Structures are given as C-alpha cells and as structure tokens.
Amino acid sequence: MTALDQLKQYTTVVSDTGDFQAIAQYKPQDATTNPSLILKAVQKPEYRPLLEKVVRESNGEALDSIIDRLLITFGTEILKIIPGRVSTEVDARLSFNTEGSIEKGRHLISLYEAAGFSRDRILIKLASTWEGIRAAEVLQREGIHCNMTLLFSLAQAVAAAEAKVQLISPFVGRIYDWYKKTAGASWDEAKNGGANDPGVHSVRTIYAYYKKFGYPTEIMGASFRTISQIVELAGCDLLTISPELLKKLSEESFPVERKLSPELAKGDPVARIAVDEASFRFQLNEDAMATEKLSEGIRTFAADAIKLENLILDLQKQPA
C-alpha cells in the first residue's frame, strides 16, 4: 500500500486546491478552496474559460456577485467529483464584520442550493476572529455548516468548539514557518521536526482538548509543508493536503502508523480554558505567533481577492 492509502485508513483525506482535475486524480473525500487557490486556478489555461464564462454571463452584476458566482462555479465542479463536502470561503475583508459574514454565508449557500446541491455538502469558511466565530455560531443554528480557517491557537479552537462549529482548520505549516523564521540561524530542523514540529504539536494539543472534553467539532489539519507533518497527524479527523504532497504520498510506501486517537488523547494533561470575549482576545494577544499569522493570513486572502477582482475588471474591458 502507498503511504496515501495507509493514511486514508486512519484519517479522512481532503484535497486543498481549486484544481478539480488534480482532485479527480487523488480521490479525496472532501475538498477545500480559498481565494488564493481560486486565483491560482483561474490563471491556468485549462480554467480560464470558466472565468470568462462567469464574466460573460454576469449581465452587469456587481463585482462581489461575480466573485460569488465564480466561487460557486468552482465549488459545484468539485462537488461533481468528490463524494463529500467542499469548503468555500467568505471574503476575508469581512473577517471583523459579523453581520456581513452571516449574510455572505447565507448567500453562498443559497447559490449552491439554486445549483442543486444540499447545504449538507457545503462548508462555509470563515476567519477564526472573534467576529468570525460569532458569525459561524449563527450560521450553524440555521443548518449552515462552517469551517473556521486561519486558526493558530488553542483559544481560537476552543471558542470555535463552544460555538458548535462543524469543523476547524488549524494551519500546521504556517505555524512551523513562524517558529523557523523567528529562530533564524539557531533553528534545528532535526530537533524541531517530526513529532516536535510546532505546527504538529499545536494540532495534537487541540485534538487532545476536543476529545478529552467531548467536543464534536471536527479537526482538519491544514497548510502542510512536508509529508512528515502529515504522517505525524495520522488519525486526526481530517487532513487537507495540496496536490503536490498528495502526489508524494502516493509515490511512497513507507509504513504510516496512527499517531492520534480519542483513547490516547483523553489521557493527555490538558486543562479547560476560558473563552469569553475578553479572555479570547487577551489569550490571542499573548500569542505573538497566532496574532501575527492571523493578521497576515487575512491580509493575504484579502489581497488575492482584490487580484481576482482586477482579473474580472480586465476581462470586462475586453471587446466581446
């Protein structure tokens, strides 16, 4: 068996891409997208016609409506390939706007339902800000399942679970990036890799907390840099993996062992933490890595959304 086949025995494998041809190749259960991935996809020749078609059929719609339709177009194509769910992200510029995020989430679901897909197959992605978590809490009560993204800390994870969100996406690779960059020349890859990888450690802590205290919220490790980070989290509820790393896993045949399980996690020494608004904001403020990576992630996704808008504006200027 390949390493990928072994991993699928313990963990639901999710494809982290807007490239639905790559999704078909590796047969994941679910798929995730974000503005950066969609931007990357529409710049490929094979997906350019999708963008052009959406713009051509927009009939004078507002720019944000065209973006929504583009996201849904990619999402529906992905849903034709996978058996499970697709994640579609709310505009990062709404990350601190609870009401705006709620309305956008409702609108995206309405577009999917109009296209003939049940809301049970959709996850609305929201940034793990206090405002984003509050928006998810409302959407969840309406039967709209949410995926909390840009999650870097236990405080964010616990607040999301208390809000009864469907799923969280802790960013393993970006946590690793921060610690490696901060350490500079003193970084020791051998010492800080594998089970000691700071991103891996963060997910293991969240997993232990959820399983020990009985939260049903799913944990989906995300943003991987290496296959080592992935196999160290074998047994996590879900792992969303880029096509490049899925390819590497499909080409390897080393043994993959289960590293996380509810039984083992319940014995971990984790203590409950408070997650009211004041406690949440203070704990996030005290965590320099989480604060910086959350802000950076929001800025990056917002910038890529603007680039996507500019692509659309350029197309609209071209003669029919």
Residue 149's pLDDT band (cuts 50, 70, 90): very high
pLDDT given at position 112? 98
Residue 164's pLDDT band (cuts 50, 70, 90): very high
pLDDT given at position 264? 83
Print the domain residue range for 252. Answer: 3-317
Longest Cα–Cα distance of the chain, Å, equals 65
Q: Is the pLDDT of residue 266 over 80?
A: no
Give percent above pLDDT 70 in the chain: 100
- DSSP category for residue 91: P
Number of domains in the chain: 1
Residue 269's pLDDT band (cuts 50, 70, 90): confident
pLDDT given at position 212? 92
> HSE of 175 in the Cβ direction (CA atoms, 13 Å)?
26
Q: Is the pLDDT of residue 320 over 70?
A: no
Return the minimum-mean-pLDDT range out of 43-47, 202-206, 254-258.
Answer: 43-47
CATH of the domain at 281: 3.20.20.70
The residue ranking higher by pLDDT, 306 or 268, is: 306
Q: Is the dihedral of CA 277, 267, 258, 261 positive or negative?
A: negative
Catalytically annotated residues: 125
pLDDT given at position 34? 86
Could you report the per-residue pLDDT of 217-228, keeping only the tens digit for each?
999 999 999 999
Residues 189-202 have a mean pLDDT of: 95
Between the CA atoms of 14, 15, 16 and 21, what dihedral angle is there, to the nearest 10 degrees?
-160
